[in-house]
């Protein structure tokens, strides 16, 4: 595991110091306020701990994709109210990220006060990871804390550049995320199972290739399973399937054989002639009985039962992506059933379960078990790149 410093390595008294804290405030908006403040809640412990130690806390974040230009609708001032509500503190909005305005604001802030800098992506130097831009921001701070794992896969000035210019620490959310990920794939208790679902093999090729060398059981669901079934000679009818990737699927299955990893594909499936809620043509059948005019939309009950038995033999589970078209009933049944099994095993203390990615978080919430997994990461791209076995620049810079 990458060795990094945490807030525990900071002095107990930070009075008179300025902490530059990179957080994720890229919140989904509905009208003038955020429809979900999970990301602010995740950063709350870090922000308040630094403020309570007496530091002047300056929050750095991006909001939307302004492409290096100012946009009034993408200012972080849009989320100031939401942040204040979650922190239960007043915060000062600062319309710059460096220079005299920031200097004056630091002069106005008292010890333990919090300031919110404007969208770092208003400046082209952010995404270019420009050294001079990073230095201009760093000039105002004494310490740098990164608490935004979700932005750690991007080597930007506020996620990577600053970590080289100031004493750098992982915030509490970042620390929890890195510890959970290490327990899942870094130094996991074996056997390890991975559930990888989603529509397309092409979007998860690197994930699958990395995992076959690291896990003992690879459970493939979603539209991706159809591509693997087709590679094994199964006629998948009208199902979503990347027929041009059958060679790739076969290669992954060969690699798995050599690595001692068992790939689990469904042998019974739920099919329908049209993709709609509770269609009249709905039926469950063996994978070899899919009609030419039918599409596979979920994995069947027997396959789910067999997968539940596999999880009972495992100590660690990594989950990314649903098993079926879970947004539409009844094609959510397999995902819900297996998620409930994983949650029950986690609660019994026999399984460490780590899940991540947008669809996955939604699926686990839908199954009512989001809080019963060991750790659920809200980071999309960063979680995927970690599953691909890539080094994340924002994390590497902290070591």
Residues with catalytic roles: 39, 200, 358, 381
Neighbours of 165 (CB within 10 A): 17
- The closest of 209, 189, 201 to 317, measured between CA atoms, is 189
Per the structure block, which two tokens stand in for 191?
């056997």
Coil, strand or helix: which one is 295? strand
Q: Does an H or E element contain 173, and which?
A: helix 172-181
Judge whether 70 and 115 are in contact, CB under 8 Å.
no
Residue 18's region, left for phi above 0, alpha for psi from -120 to 50, else beta, is: beta
Q: How many CA atoms lie within 13 A of 38 on its CB side?
A: 13
Report which DSSP code applies to 123.
S
Judge whether 331 and 296 are in contact, CB under 8 Å.
no
Q: Where are the beta strands (DSSP E) in 132-290?
A: 143-146, 168-170, 192-196, 217-220, 262-264, 268-272, 283-286
Q: At what angle do helices 38-52 and 80-87 cross, to 10 degrees?
A: 60
User: What angle is formed at CA 286 by the lines to CA 283 and CA 291, rounded to 5 degrees?
Assistant: 65
Distance CA 242, CA 250 (A): 13
Distance CA 87, CA 90 (A): 8
- The closest of 32, 28, 73 to 380, measured between CA atoms, is 28
């Amino acid at each position: 595991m990458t060795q990094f410093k945490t807030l525990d390595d900071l002095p107990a008294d930070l009075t008179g110091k300025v902490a530059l804290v990179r957080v994720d405030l890229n919140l989904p908006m509905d009208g003038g306020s955020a429809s979900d403040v999970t990301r602010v809640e995740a950063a709350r412990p870090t922000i308040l701990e630094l403020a309570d130690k007496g530091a002047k806390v300056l929050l750095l974040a991006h909001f939307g994709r302004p492409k290096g230009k100012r946009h009034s609708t993408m200012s972080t001032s849009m989320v100031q109210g939401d942040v204040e509500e979650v922190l239960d503190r007043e915060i000062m909005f600062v319309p710059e990220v460096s220079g005299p305005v920031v200097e004056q604001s630091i002069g106005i802030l008292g010890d333990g006060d919090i300031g919110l800098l404007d969208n770092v992506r208003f400046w082209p130097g952010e995404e270019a990871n420009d050294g001079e831009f990073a230095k201009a921001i760093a000039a105002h701070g004494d310490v740098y804390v990164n608490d935004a794992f979700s932005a750690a896969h991007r080597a930007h000035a506020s996620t990577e550049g600053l970590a080289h210019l100031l004493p750098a620490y992982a915030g509490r959310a970042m620390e929890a995320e890195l510890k959970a990920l290490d327990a899942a794939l870094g130094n996991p208790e074996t056997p390890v199972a991975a559930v990888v679902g989603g529509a397309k093999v092409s979007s998860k090729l690197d994930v699958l290739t990395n995992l076959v060398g690291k896990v003992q059981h690879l459970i493939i669901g979603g539209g991706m399973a159809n591509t693997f079934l087709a590679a094994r000679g199964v006629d998948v009818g009208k199902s979503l399937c990347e027929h041009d990737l059958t060679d790739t699927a076969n290669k992954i299955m060969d690699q798995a054989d050599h690595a001692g990893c068992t790939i689990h594909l469904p042998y019974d499936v739920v099919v329908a002639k049209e993709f709609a809620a509770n269609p009249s043509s709905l039926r469950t059948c063996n994978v070899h009985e899919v009609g030419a005019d039918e599409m596979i939309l979920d994995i069947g009950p027997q396959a789910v039962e067999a997968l539940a038995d596999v999880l009972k033999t495992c100590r660690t589970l990594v989950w990314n992506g649903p098993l079926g078209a879970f947004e539409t009933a009844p094609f959510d049944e397999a995902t819900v059933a297996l998620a409930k099994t994983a949650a029950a095993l986690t609660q019994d203390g026999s399984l460490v379960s780590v899940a991540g990615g947008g669809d996955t978080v939604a699926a686990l919430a839908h199954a009512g078990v989001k809080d019963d997994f060991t750790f659920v990461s809200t980071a999309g791209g960063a979680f995927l790149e970690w599953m691909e076995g890539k080094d994340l620049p924002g994390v590497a810079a902290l070591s």
